[in-house]
Copies of this chain bind each other. A is one copy, B any other.
Amino acid sequence: MEIKNSKPKVVIIGAGFGGLWAARTLAHQPVDVVVVDRNNYHTFLALLYQVAAAELDAEDIAYPVRSVFWNKPNIDFILAHARRVDLQNNRIETDGETIHYDYLILANGSVTSTFGVPGVEEHAYFLKTLEEAVALKNHIICCFEAASRETGNDNKKALLTFVIVGGGATGVEYSGALAELIHGPLIRDYPTIDFADVRIELLEAADHLVGHMPKTLRDYTARQLRKMGVDVRLKTAVAEVTKDKAILKDQEAIPTRTVIWTAGVRGEELPADSAIRVGRDGRVSVQDTLQVQDHPNIYVIGDLAAIQDDSRVLPMVAQVAIQSGVTAAKNILLQVAGKSAAAFRYADRGSMIAIGRKAAGVAIGKRTFKGFIAWIMWLIIHLFNLIGFRNRVMVLTNWAWDYLLYERAVRYVFPSRMPSGSKACACAPASHEDDKQCAD
């Protein structure tokens, strides 16, 4: 009889909220855990828009994955990009080594979906990764630098027109943060620019913003954004993006150098053979235990999982990722102990949105809050959910600066030269050659 020396090996792909909470749940348990991610840091995505609005440093919302696992000797980390799941042999192929698993948790998360709209991939800015947020921030500053030297009136107006596509949480929060960046510190930075030329356009195909919120908060959100100078245009869809304009479905063309695409997300391409069924939105349908049909040792959690809850599929939010991560980990421990996996029960903690300084909306159960009190709730909850005490201190300091002194400290272009092929519109000389967006 074969003697099994080693504990069962659990591989977790992705160090987002889902992956990290799954790993934490498995700490000090009778399993060996390996977390695989292409970055060596966890990103707190809820505040990504503030990095893109020069409100926070990239470092403030990132946390080194290995620190999470200090004093958790059964958890290891591999910095690698998972390429494919080899279901036959229970192996993950990466760009580096191949990793064997006994149990697998797929927590890859989601990516931007362009819905195939022409030009979006090539010309629009995205807001899903730390790199994208920094590239967008750099581009915004560059547009103002270029506008401050531009003599042609049409060019100047196009440089100062910012089109945000998608009225969900990301689009709304970024519109508000961008308006505050521009009408606060940037006005002081660029005394030669006429700020009446600045336009922030928020385009939404539906007839309301933030569809996941109650009607009272949807209306409040649109009202607040308009007060802040954002041109909120409902029932407005984009047909095409080119390097110098956004073309709407009704043929109207908006001259602009900056289209920010927040209109859609989809599950991140699953590194598996076709044996795992993926829906049109890139998400994997899972059983109520979060297991994949016919593969009881494979779990899918977070944004990548299409989890049925009563009549709806759970949304792609942090709370679903955290709770499903914990459940998947607990289910694996049940299986290891020879028991069967239990069903996932989602506890809805409500949703919230920040529109700007002292303006937010919060929905918990049937109750809604708005304005200053909601904003304070938003601040506290987001601070609390940041990983790492140091990050909390840094974010709090930056916020105090922004909100008390109306100043943004981090509005500089760095690195001056972004990775080639990126959409970063660096103004620094080194990249003028491949500057595709600012210059004409």
Q: Which residues of A contact B (CB under 8 A)?
A: 38-41, 57-59, 62-64, 66-67, 70, 73, 76, 78-81, 94-97, 130-131, 134, 141, 145, 149, 185, 188-192, 388, 390-391, 393-394, 397-398, 401, 407, 409-420, 427-430, 432
Contact = CB atoms under 8 A, between A and B. Distances in A.
Given A59-B59, A59-B410, A397 B401 contact: no
6 cross-chain pairs, A with B, having the tightest CB-CB distances, nearest first: A81-B429, A41-B412, A95-B429, A66-B189, A57-B59, A417-B419
A414 B62 contact: yes
**Residue from the set A397, A407, A416 with the largest chain B CB neighbour count within 10 Å:** A416
- The oligomer's copy count stands at 2
Residue among A78, A81, A97, A390 with the most chain B CB within 10 A?
A: A390
Given A64-B412, A390-B409, A95 B39 contact: no
B401 A390 contact: yes
A191 B397 contact: no
Nearest to A189: B66
Contacts of A63: 412
B416 A67 contact: no
24 contacts: A39-B413, A39-B414, A40-B412, A40-B413, A41-B413, A57-B57, A59-B412, A63-B412, A64-B189, A64-B409, A64-B412, A70-B189, A73-B191, A78-B149, A95-B432, A131-B414, A131-B415, A131-B417, A390-B409, A391-B409, A397-B397, A419-B420, A419-B430, A420-B420
B79 A428 contact: yes
Contacts of A57: 57, 59
A347 to B, nearest CB: 32
A320 B108 CA distance: 53
Given A38-B429, A64-B412, A81-B430, 17 more contacts: A38-B416, A39-B412, A39-B416, A59-B410, A59-B412, A62-B412, A66-B190, A67-B189, A79-B428, A80-B429, A81-B429, A131-B414, A131-B417, A390-B397, A391-B409, A417-B419, A418-B419
